Amino acid sequence: MKRILAVDVGGSKVKFLASGETEPRKIASGPDLTPARMVEKVRKAARGWRYDAVSIGLPAMVGPAGPLAEPGNLGHGWVGFDFAAAFGCPVRIANDAAMQALGSYDGGRMLFLGFGTGLGSALIAEHVILPLELGDLPLRDASFSVLFGREAFDKEGKKAWRKRVLRTLPALQKAFMADYVVVGGGNAKHLRKKLPAGVRVGNNLNAFRGGFRLWGIDEVQTLHEEGTAPKTPARPVGSANGEWRVL
């Protein structure tokens, strides 16, 4: 079994965890973070950990060959960058919402919504991961990312923001015929009370499990967000050959 380094790239910080370890590490992110600097800092901060391959969750559109567009809140140079050469090992890259969705998946048909700076989204069914761009959908005079993102939360307040989100979740679940919806991202913690049926709050640390699952490793331990108790999947959900398809 390979040891995987899962890297979750965000706009303010980069978090990473190697399989077999329990305590994530992190470095600062921001508009000056280029892929070369990210790799250099992560490799330095991950000294002492052994890993044979790397998974990267990136806040951008990603294709089979890597990023298709530059992340909006980071430095430039991500498209076309040779991550495998920089890390010195095989690398698989996914959209950050898709990677967190994969780590939150418990079978069936699942819709994942990440409430952070904007709105991340992905759908998983039958071991196929379909990254979505629901944040671009218009609603009234704004997009979903504007109405459900951090700026709207800060401007309108938690009560109004939460009311809008909770009113929209059942409609999205029905539209995608999802068995259940998992909400994640930095603002998901504000949705813990009075969730609609079929909706649950995920753990942001599930992004690491998603990174491990990209390489067919399913039974791994990560920490609860609020403490140190190990958390494992209730049951294996990988495919028979351990492979997941990212469309």
pLDDT in tens, 126-158: 889 999 989 888 887 889 888 898 889 999 999
Here the tokens at position 147 are: 């109405």
79 with 115, same domain: the answer is no
Residue ranges of the chain with per-residue pLDDT less than 50: 222-236, 239-241
Where in the sequence is the domain holding 141, given as residue range(s)? 107-201
The reported pLDDT for the residue numbered 117 is 82
Amino acid at residue number 139: L
Helices and strands: H and E segment counts in the chain:
7, 17
| 3 and 19 Cβ atoms separated by less than 8 Å | yes
> Are 20 and 72 part of one and the same domain?
yes
Domain count, the chain: 2
Pairing status of strand 109-115 against strand 119-125: antiparallel
18-40 per-position pLDDT tens digit:
998 989 999 999 999 999 999 99
Q: Given this model, what pLDDT does residue 11 score? A: 82
Q: Tell me phi and psi for residue 109, to 5 degrees.
A: -110, 115
**Which one, of 114, 1, 91, lies nearest residue 42 by Cα?**
91
CATH number for the domain including 28?
A: 3.30.420.40
Between CA 170 and CA 156, with CA 206 as vertex, the angle to 5 degrees is 50
Are 160 and 212 in the same domain?
A: no
